Amino acid sequence: MSLQFNPRDITWLAFNERVLQEAMDEKVPLHLRIRFLGIFSNNLDEFFRVRVAGLKRAMDFKEKVIAESFYQAPSKILQRINDIVIHQQQNFDKTWKKIQAEMADQRVFIKSPKSLTPVQKEFVSKYFDEVIESNVIPILLHENTPMPYLRDKSLYIGVAMSKKDWQYASNYAIIEIPSRFVGRFLLLPTEDPKEKNVMLLEDIITFNLPHIFSYFGYDEFSAHAFKVTKDAELDLDNDIRTNFAEKIEKGLKNRRKGKPTRFVFDKDMDKALLELLIRKLNLTKKDSIIPGGKIHNFKHFMDFPDVFDDYKRPVERTSFTHPAFEHGERVTDVILKNDVLLTFPYHKYNSVIDLLREAAMDPDVKSIQITAYRLASSSKIINALIYAARNGKEVTVMLELQARFDEESNLEWKEMLEPEGIRVLIGIPNKKVHAKLCVIKKRAHNKTLQYGFVSTGNFNEKTARVYGDHLLMTSDRGVMADINKVFSVLKKPKDDFMPVLKTCKNLLVCPQFMREKFIHHIDREIEEAKAGRKAEMIIKVNSLSDRGMILKIYDAAKAGVLVKMIVRGIYCAVNHKDFKEKIDAISIVDEYLEHARVMYFYSKGVEDMYISSADWMTRNLDNRIEAAIKITDKDLKKEMKDILDIQLRDNVKARILNKKLDNEYVRNNKKQCRSQIEIYKYLKAKTDPE
């Protein structure tokens, strides 16, 4: 059999197409459809910053050498990417046009400079004078002057200016839209209180162009939006005289100089200005030069103003307290007696915050150790840890300074935590710390007690409201011992830290050992299938791209193991003719982001269940510190299996993952199952069984 794989980057674009499908679905509430457009846009920006930039770097080497890493030559993948993205952009523009028509039906309008009423014109002029003008700095463009530095995440308008009686060519300028400082949206006054008018910041600036350039006497203006996406790879130098944090800071400064990977512009832009920008940015036909609609940097639309009156949040979207914590008992006391499994965003995240606050105030608690990858901007986790340090606890925080696009934030957290007496760890060179771990130690009645939690997702109370994740609270002595071993490695990183991690008995850790254990599980299922006995595995991850794990899954399918997969994003596996059992793979894209990693193996009826921080990608399994934990409590194991079964029954929001990557919805004659709603009902019933 000639083994085949779908290229990683093409499957990622198929995932983003599923996000766009949600925006296109007229059954989805209007404000959520706008949000999905914002998510689609933001996803695509990051894709070009990282993946397209990586492919372009790879083209500098011999393509045959690196084609295996991408499953296809980078030049071919880049061409496919460009074709797919242009097609998706067309669908995006059609969808946005349709949504605007539906907004008009609800009397919500995005106002252009030409459509303002006299009262609104006065309001916009005053708002510009008082709020915006000080943040607007036009830069004139000339053929013989260098291109000014353009920010990667910023939106710009290109302005062509002329005079009616002028025989000369237009002059040109660019203006950065200062949305970071004043926001992207402005609600305008209306005569009809039932009508909502929203104006975009770039249109406010466009309206005020005669005022901005009044010194030059121009009376004709043409302004259109554009943005540049740059290579976001963080190049770290090898200067032994600088510490790791300083290298990150230097890398962030150098990132600004990254090469453009995409140029997106309003297709109605002045042609001469467009050509000037392309020349000054040194773009060629090999680069992604993508014409689009009027609005760019659509990521801001994830926070579009709440102007829709007819939407009532369904009860199934309201988080609730886990039943274990409903009776007023301290979280600490509960988990010292029993394991508790939290499933977000169905369960409230408060219980995690409460546990850390209790530890901060408990005079018997001696230390807290926790990993942090992506934190909320006003992190309650960090606040609790600071209070703990002020109360005399020994607090250790592993801050991953290489968390992509959170590097700057994590450097700021480091600067905040260290003066509070908190020990900040910054990881192991060339190994990101992605494990989600916490251990709390207390001394009471001449006994040492340890408890904490292991999670599939970040310790971030904001994303926990929209990310589907699992977090196990436990006081299991073996688990706590293993978490302490991980922190011992992080505190004193050595060149050879593997022997320490190898001694972990209750956590599966990366690099290496998690891969070995899961391969062992798959091999056992293969043996059972070959013996004619029941063999089954369910793998739920965000991404599947590791060649070794895919080949092992292929072995299982060939042997007759029942393989079921739930993969939100990248999915490089495909079915083949000689599989005894076809791989049943789906992707669920709904209001919540499916983020949990769960592994289930039938294991001769014993049923082994794990939750993990690691996707099945080479970077996770071989190049990061990751952790998975086995669910041993019988009731919790059943709960996890029930949740997986609900997701596998989804025939509303599930798409079939196949070789064609056509995102066909799962449709059958079975009872309708929208898994995120059904999981809510299932978990909510446990709080009130009657």
Residues involved in catalysis: 434
Helix ranges (H only) for 531-612 are 547-559
To the nearest 10°, report the CA torsion of 638, 642, 648, 653: -140
CA dihedral sign, ordered 567, 568, 574, 575: positive
- Is 391:360 a contact under the CB 8 Å cutoff? yes
Quote the tokens at residue 662. 């056509």
Helix ranges (H only) for 229-268 are 244-255
How many angstroms separate the Cα of 296 from the Cα of each of 1, 41, 54, 307, 413?
A: 46, 9, 24, 21, 31
CA angle (43, 229, 59) in 5-degree steps: 95
Residue that has been written with the tokens 């302005």 in this structure: 159
Quote the tokens at residue 41. 């846009």
Residue that has been written with the tokens 């004139």 in this structure: 140
Q: Which residue in 490, 486, 480, 478 sits closest to 453, CA to CA? A: 480
- The helix or strand, by DSSP H or E, that contains position 341, with its residue range, turns out to be strand 340-344
- Is 154:177 a contact under the CB 8 Å cutoff? yes
**Separation CA 413–CA 461 (nearest Å):** 16
Quote the tokens at residue 55. 């492919």
Q: Which residue in 37, 6, 139 sits closest to 587, CA to CA? A: 6
Q: List, in sequence order, every residue forming a beta bridge with 200; answer none if it has no partner.
A: 185
Tell me if residue 245 falls in helix, strand or coil.
Answer: helix
Q: List, in sequence order, every residue forming a beta bridge with 368; answer none if it has no partner.
A: 395, 440
Helix axes 547-559, 513-530, angle to 10 degrees: 10
Residues 6+ apart with CB under 8 A from 265: 158, 224, 225, 226, 274, 277, 289, 290, 291, 292, 296
**Separation CA 94–CA 84 (nearest Å):** 16
How many angstroms separate the Cα of 400 from the Cα of each of 248, 454, 509, 517?
A: 11, 17, 17, 26
- The helix or strand, by DSSP H or E, that contains position 46, with its residue range, turns out to be helix 30-47
Radius of gyration of the chain from its Cα atoms, rounded to whole angstroms: 27
- Residue 28's Cβ-side half-sphere holds a number of Cα atoms within 13 Å equal to 23
Q: Which residue in 519, 505, 504, 489 sits closest to 624, CA to CA? A: 489
To the nearest 10°, report the CA torsion of 89, 95, 99, 100: 50
To the nearest 10°, report the CA torsion of 365, 371, 377, 382: 10
